Copies of this chain bind each other. A is one copy, B any other.
């Protein structure tokens, strides 16, 4: 009993600190790159001494892999929408919405992923070859089914997926460039809404999918 309680206490303390460190690491890795990030910077961002990081994550690389793991699982979840959809109009626009929301509110994960892939995925190649490959094939099948049913124009499904990934992740990865070109201000709520509508409209119309429900806003303006 006592042991169990102790285990719970230390277990939750461990989980708490691990989550704290991973969140701090995500930001530092996004801002500095893997090699550029230092354990000291991550420790400062987490408000812990550097040695504690090594207590929870023995090496920098293991910490990094844990950050990637969190990012990748969020990515997979966002795509459940895809499977549940009735057709491309519903599925693609929900997926674009979800990806843009993720770019807006959690840009750091996307940045870490992009940095890693640009450099040839030296550390997370196994993710690409196992999980991402399987995921991509399953989504490609759905797109092919939609095409076969005549719900949208024919297109290489991977080209379409890359298209959506790049258009949406751009708003996370190139956040700084977009901000600079927007008079050094973050996009406003209205600008985000406009981006979402523009991208969905362009993709759905470009694919020959019938337009999103013809009255987009609820009421005013």
Q: Which B residues touch A182, using CB under 8 A?
A: 158
- Which residues A144-180 have CB closer than 8 A to chain B? 153, 155-156, 158-160, 162-163, 165-167, 169-171, 173-174, 176-178, 180
In the assembled complex, the CB of A110 is this many whole angstroms from the nearest CB of chain B, namely 9
Chain B residues with CB under 8 Å of A160's CB are 198
Q: How many copies of this chain does one complex carry?
A: 2
User: Does A6 reach chain B (CB closer than 8 Å)?
Assistant: no
Q: Which B-chain residue is minimally distant from A178 (CB atoms)?
A: B162
**CB neighbours of A117 from chain B (8 A):** 173-174, 176-177
**Interface residue A205 (Cβ < 8 Å from any Cβ of B):** yes
**A interface with B by C-beta (< 8 Å):** 30-36, 111, 114-115, 117-121, 125, 128-129, 132-133, 136, 153, 155-156, 158-160, 162-163, 165-167, 169-171, 173-174, 176-178, 180-182, 194-195, 198-199, 201-208
CB distance from A128 to the nearest CB of B (A): 4
- The verdict on A121 contacting B155 (CB below 8 Å), with A34-B33, A35-B33, A165-B170 known, is no
**Chain B residue contacts of A208, Cβ below 8 A:** 205
Q: Is the CB of B120 within 8 A of A118?
A: no
